[in-house]
Structure 1
Amino acid sequence: MNDAVNYFNNGYTCSQAIVKTFKNEFNIDEKILEAISYGFGGGMGKSGNICGAVSGGIMVIGMRNMNEKKDIVYKKVNKFISEFKKINGETSCTKLLEFSNELSEEEEKNKFKKKICTNCIKSTVELLNSQLILTK
């Protein structure tokens, strides 16, 4: 989990931080993993849609289960999303960060966003390591 937060704090997007954390599970060049997950930060290209940590988590689930039938993978993805929502309340980047728009100071906004994003990253790593997601 600390690896993911460290990646994020060192400039990687939330989606990259998740995928890089699990890189040793896959026989894929790290630079390719970084490139594939690059555009998902900020809710997909900073559009505020699905949280990049969620997108990164779904990528990891897909890579872990690439030899499974679609319905098994979809079930795991849906379980992951459901559990993420229970923990964080939302999957939308915009809604997760909504309160930050009410803060007046830019520095305070950035601190708030960093805290929320860090929590989303941590919970994603925990979920990806949990039996809820690992089992069929």
Structure 2
Amino acid sequence: MSIRGDKAKAYFTRGYNCAQSVLMAFSDITGLDERNSAMLSSGFGGGMGRMREVCGAVSGMFMAASFVSGYDDPDDSEGKKRTYKMIQTLAENFREKNKSIICKELLGLDKPEGTHIPDRRTPEYYKKRPCGDLVKDAAEILEEYFISIGKIK
């Protein structure tokens, strides 16, 4: 059981998008407050602006991971390698559990719905979408990763 996974899922059920939910679940270690986390990740929901590309939960996981363990010096080639390896590891862990990191594939869609307008969050929405569980998975994967590298206990 993961406190951060549960926290991310709770944010999602409050109406935050997938990316927001995951990034916000790590605000205590990113140092970003709830508002800044939500604003930074707001365009990544729905597979990047509802285009159904990379899953928002995965994007939120990548943002939190990069904020905590990324690099900031453009000449830091070792930092780039380390960061890209981390992102690929996290993506592979998510893919192992969910078969894809692509939103439309995770939702079983042949193509995006063709609109920028998000679905209303109703009880039926939550029943038909796996997003709450995907958000929880992404947060759990990142939490396990951070524990393995000593960033959190």
State TM-score, norm by structure 1. 0.84
Distance in 2, matches of 1:60 and 1:132, equals: 10
Tell me what 1:104 maps to: none
Contact residue 127 and residue 133 of structure 1 kept, 8 A = no
Contact residue 30 and residue 64 of structure 2 kept, 8 A = no
Tell me what 1:11 maps to: 15
1:132 positional shift: 7.7
Contact residue 46 and residue 103 of structure 2 kept, 8 A = yes
Tell me what 2:101 maps to: 91
Tell me what 1:31 maps to: 35
Taking structure 1 as reference, are residues 65 and 94 closer, same or farther at Cα in structure 2, changes over 3 Å only? same
The answer as to 2:24 corresponding to 1:20 is: yes
2:133 corresponds to which of 115, 119, 128? 119
Q: Deviations over 1:55-106 (max 9, x none)?
A: 000001101113470110110100000110010011111011116x9xxxxx
Distance in 2, matches of 1:2 and 1:82, equals: 22
User: SS at the partner of 2:136?
Assistant: helix
Distance in 1, matches of 2:62 and 2:22, equals: 10
Structure 1, unpaired ranges of 5+? 102-106
State TM-score, norm by structure 2. 0.76
Contact residue 40 and residue 55 of structure 1 kept, 8 A = yes
More helix by share: 1
Q: Deviations over 1:34-75 (max 9, x none)?
A: 101001000000000000000000001101113470110110
Distance in 2, matches of 1:13 and 1:131, equals: 22
Distance in 2, matches of 1:126 and 1:134, equals: 12
Structure 2, unpaired ranges of 5+? 72-77, 112-121
Distance in 1, matches of 2:123 and 2:12, equals: 18
The answer as to 2:56 corresponding to 1:40 is: no
Identical columns (%): 31
Distance in 2, matches of 1:120 and 1:72, equals: 25
Distance in 1, matches of 2:136 and 2:57, equals: 9
Taking structure 1 as reference, are residues 131 and 59 closer, same or farther at Cα in structure 2, changes over 3 Å only? closer
Taking structure 1 as reference, are residues 7 and 71 closer, same or farther at Cα in structure 2, changes over 3 Å only? same
